[in-house]
């Protein structure tokens, strides 16, 4: 048994209440196998049926533990037990297999060889490479059904699974168990938090998002969707583990390349032009210059040399990494459709607002290196969760970028895309003609808070109160920190919450005065300090508001995570409705779906009074 499955079983951390930690969706196959063999009650998901050459498949689940299995019925005779690994025959002629990650990879080949149009797995269709919404999946199994509902009702596929790896997801559970995950600096908290601060592993997420499509029957709609391995770090300190990153992301159909780790350690030579002449092939430089000129831009030679000298080391590493993503897919998958993936180039991490020249040079370089870029993400000066204040200025900025992107056949990726105004999204959609991606992630943690806050269930209310208290305590700690950035940010969050609630903001005479002021506030998910610190509560050891407790990958962290996965049906419904409503809002304002379609979806959504009714509208009727 794998180390992670042993760890989870020993600590009674089961998939039902702690999903997507293990790459496998079956922790205890001997127990599940014998339960199926002895006809104990095991749920067969009715919408999950699909076919391969070997016969008919259905997904089985032990509702108590969350352990899953595949049942195969051959068209005639007994089903072959060697179709996947660890199979056993049932008395009725069917074969059953554990839902391990290894079996999932094999099943993908069987499914796509039998039906290349199948939408059970994420894919890289032309449409998904032109126009999509990036939906960060912070709460995994609680989250996906809402995204599936929105895609089904709107009739469009989106990036239905997305998270940054290794920042938000555990890239390797063995490294996690060894306590050797790296840390990520969070200057606004004045500390470093272990990577993978949401607790799930990349393989576990990859597995869970596919099973979710089968459970809800989303796959019966035939709508292709994608899975984005977001902000894959290139170079710098990530060189030593790039093979592990590649292996973990093998099911992602869409890779975002983030060059910033390598750029952070690149020193541009004093004579950049001489450096380029010595290090970059002359033919490639000529090709890039000609391509940029063809796009209608005039290059300043000095600026060009400086930029090229700055980005060339990272682009070479990107090329190597890209080859590894392709090779991993070629090795694991047997079909063209199964091997294809989309690419995004993230350049919003480069200093300052991105100029059209920079975008053109980067796209021309990728083109010359044989890497087709589907999305490019320039910096527009967006602040996370803040509307862009000037729509006319935003239009001008996007128009300049769009002129370049259109020439290269790339769409624009809008990073830090959550929380913009309807008018901002309208401008993004109108200027690009819908050839865009809006990346949203943190928004959905907020929607969980709103969902719990509005729930009448007492356990949901207790979780909400603890969550709110956790952020209040972190804000108080931060407001008196000796770390200047941490103190400044905490006070900004506190002042914002007080001011928006009509309270006085002169509250920093003493910690006691600040506490009194904060405790006089009516708890609300609209308070900025709750919004900014909330994601850290998910894996805080026993929910403690202490820096040392954050991002805790021991049983204390996972027990805390389980609280979110045991919320009531009312809490789940609220959360699902909030997510779906936000996706419809984005689709309406960017123009990815028609106003009439969006209105119909909103009306239907508003009418649900229980989660089952909502889930029943996902599969094709
Ligand atoms: Zn980015």
Structure tokens at 464: 């909400």
Q: How many CB atoms lie within 10 A of CB 585?
A: 14
Question: From the CA of 369, how far away is ligand 1's center (Å)?
Answer: 21
Question: From the CA of 102, how far away is ligand 1's center (Å)?
Answer: 31
Question: From the CA of 87, how far away is ligand 1's center (Å)?
Answer: 43
Structure tokens at 479: 């407001």
* Whole-number Å distance between alpha carbons of 81 and 375: 43
* Whole-number Å distance between alpha carbons of 244 and 535: 26
Question: From the CA of 399, how far away is ligand 1's center (Å)?
Answer: 19
Question: From the CA of 271, how far away is ligand 1's center (Å)?
Answer: 29
Question: From the CA of 178, how far away is ligand 1's center (Å)?
Answer: 30
Residues contacting 36, CB < 8 A, separation 6+: 42, 60, 69, 71, 90, 96
Q: Quick one: what percent of the chain has pLDDT higher than 90?
A: 97
Question: From the CA of 208, how far away is ligand 1's center (Å)?
Answer: 25
Question: From the CA of 418, how far away is ligand 1's center (Å)?
Answer: 13
Q: How many CB atoms lie within 10 A of CB 544?
A: 16
Question: From the CA of 598, how far away is ligand 1's center (Å)?
Answer: 28
Question: From the CA of 163, how far away is ligand 1's center (Å)?
Answer: 12
Q: Worst-scoring range by mean pLDDT, 311-320, 342-351, 582-591?
A: 342-351
Question: From the CA of 71, how far away is ligand 1's center (Å)?
Answer: 41
Average pLDDT of the chain to the nearest whole number: 97
Could you tell me which of 193, 313, 178, 175 has the C-alpha nearest to residue 244?
A: 175
Question: From the CA of 260, how far away is ligand 1's center (Å)?
Answer: 9
pLDDT for the residue 342: 98
Question: From the CA of 378, how far away is ligand 1's center (Å)?
Answer: 8
Question: From the CA of 345, how far away is ligand 1's center (Å)?
Answer: 8
Question: From the CA of 265, how far away is ligand 1's center (Å)?
Answer: 18
Q: Where are the alpha helices (DSSP H) in 455-550?
A: 458-479, 484-500, 511-519, 528-533
Question: From the CA of 485, how far away is ligand 1's center (Å)?
Answer: 22
Question: From the CA of 459, how far away is ligand 1's center (Å)?
Answer: 37
Residues contacting 127, CB < 8 A, separation 6+: 157, 224
Question: From the CA of 339, how far away is ligand 1's center (Å)?
Answer: 24
Question: From the CA of 603, how far away is ligand 1's center (Å)?
Answer: 34
Q: Give the model confidence (pLDDT) of 219-256 as tens digits.
A: 999 999 999 999 999 999 999 999 999 999 999 999 99
Q: Output the pTM of the full model.
A: 0.97
Average pLDDT over residues 527-547: 97
Question: From the CA of 411, how far away is ligand 1's center (Å)?
Answer: 14
Structure tokens at 123: 């894919």
Question: From the CA of 254, how far away is ligand 1's center (Å)?
Answer: 14
pLDDT for the residue 532: 95
Q: Give the model confidence (pLDDT) of 183-200 as tens digits.
A: 999 999 999 999 999 999
Beta bridge partners, 162, equal 228
Question: From the CA of 514, how far away is ligand 1's center (Å)?
Answer: 36
Q: Give the model confidence (pLDDT) of 337-385 as tens digits.
A: 999 999 999 999 888 899 999 999 999 999 999 999 999 999 999 988 8
Which H or E element spans position 254? Answer: strand 254-258
**Residue 463 Rama label (left phi>0; alpha psi -120 to 50; beta):** alpha
Q: How confident is the model at residue 438 (pLDDT cuts 50, 70, 90)?
A: very high
């Amino acid at each position: 048994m794998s180390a992670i499955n042993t760890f989870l079983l020993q600590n009674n951390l089961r998939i039902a209440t702690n999903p997507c930690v293990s790459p496998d969706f079956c922790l205890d196959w001997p127990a599940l196998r014998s339960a199926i063999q002895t006809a104990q009650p095991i749920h067969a998901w009715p919408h999950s049926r699909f076919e391969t050459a070997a016969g008919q498949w259905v997904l089985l689940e032990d509702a108590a533990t969350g352990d899953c299995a595949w049942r195969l019925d051959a068209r005639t005779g007994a089903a072959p037990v060697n179709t996947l690994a660890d199979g056993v025959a049932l008395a009725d002629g069917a074969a059953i297999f554990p839902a391990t990650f290894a079996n999932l990879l094999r099943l993908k080949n069987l499914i796509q060889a039998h039906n290349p149009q199948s939408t059970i797995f994420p894919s890289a269709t032309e449409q998904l490479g032109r126009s999509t919404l990036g939906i960060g999946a912070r709460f995994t199994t609680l989250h996906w059904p809402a995204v599936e509902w929105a895609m089904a009702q709107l009739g469009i596929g989106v990036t239905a699974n997305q998270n940054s790896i290794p920042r938000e997801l555990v890239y390797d559970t063995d490294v996690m168990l060894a306590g050797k995950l790296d840390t990520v600096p969070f200057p606004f908290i004045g500390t470093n938090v272990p990577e993978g601060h949401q607790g799930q592993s990349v393989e576990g997420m990859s597995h869970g998002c596919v099973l979710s499509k089968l459970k809800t029957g989303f796959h019966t709609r035939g709508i292709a969707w994608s899975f984005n391995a977001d902000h894959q770090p290139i170079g710098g300190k990530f060189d030593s583990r790039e093979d592990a990153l590649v292996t973990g992301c093998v099911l992602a159909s869409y890779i975002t390349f983030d060059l910033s780790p390598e750029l952070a350690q690149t020193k541009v030579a004093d004579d950049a032009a001489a450096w380029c002449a010595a290090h970059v092939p002359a033919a490639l430089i000529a090709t890039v210059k000609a391509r940029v000129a063809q796009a209608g831009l005039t290059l300043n030679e000095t600026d060009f040399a400086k930029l090229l000298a700055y980005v060339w080391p990272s682009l070479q590493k990107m090329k190597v990494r890209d080859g590894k993503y392709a090779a991993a897919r070629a090795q694991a998958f047997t079909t063209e459709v199964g091997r294809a993936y989309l690419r995004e180039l993230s350049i919003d991490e480069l200093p300052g607002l991105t100029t059209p020249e920079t975008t053109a040079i980067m796209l021309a370089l990728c083109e010359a290196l044989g890497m087709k870029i589907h999305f490019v993400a320039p910096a527009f000066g967006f602040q996370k969760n803040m509307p862009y204040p000037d729509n006319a200025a935003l239009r001008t900025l996007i128009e300049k970028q769009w002129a370049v992107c259109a020439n290269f056949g790339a769409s624009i990726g809008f990073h830090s895309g959550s929380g913009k105004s309807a008018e901002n999204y309208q401008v993004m959609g109108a200027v690009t003609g819908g050839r865009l991606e809006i990346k949203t992630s943190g928004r959905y943690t907020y929607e969980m808070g709103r969902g719990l806050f509005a729930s009448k269930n007492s356990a949901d209310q207790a979780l909400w109160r603890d969550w709110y208290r956790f952020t209040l305590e972190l804000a108080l700690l931060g407001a008196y920190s000796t770390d200047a950035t941490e103190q400044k940010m905490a006070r900004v969050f506190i002042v914002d919450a007080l001011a928006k609630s009509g309270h006085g903001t002169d509250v920093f005479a003493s910690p006691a005065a600040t506490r009194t002021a904060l405790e006089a506030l009516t708890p609300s998910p609209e308070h900025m300090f709750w919004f900014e610190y909330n994601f850290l509560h998910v894996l805080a050891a026993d929910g403690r508001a202490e820096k040392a407790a954050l991002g805790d990958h021991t049983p204390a962290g996972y027990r805390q995570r389980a609280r979110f996965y045991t919320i009531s049906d009312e809490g789940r419904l609220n959360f699902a409705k909030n997510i779906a409503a936000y996706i419809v809002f984005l689709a309406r304002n960017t123009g990815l779906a028609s106003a009439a379609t969006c209105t119909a979806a909103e009306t239907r959504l508003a009418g649900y009074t229980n989660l089952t009714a909502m889930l029943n509208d996902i599969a094709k009727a």
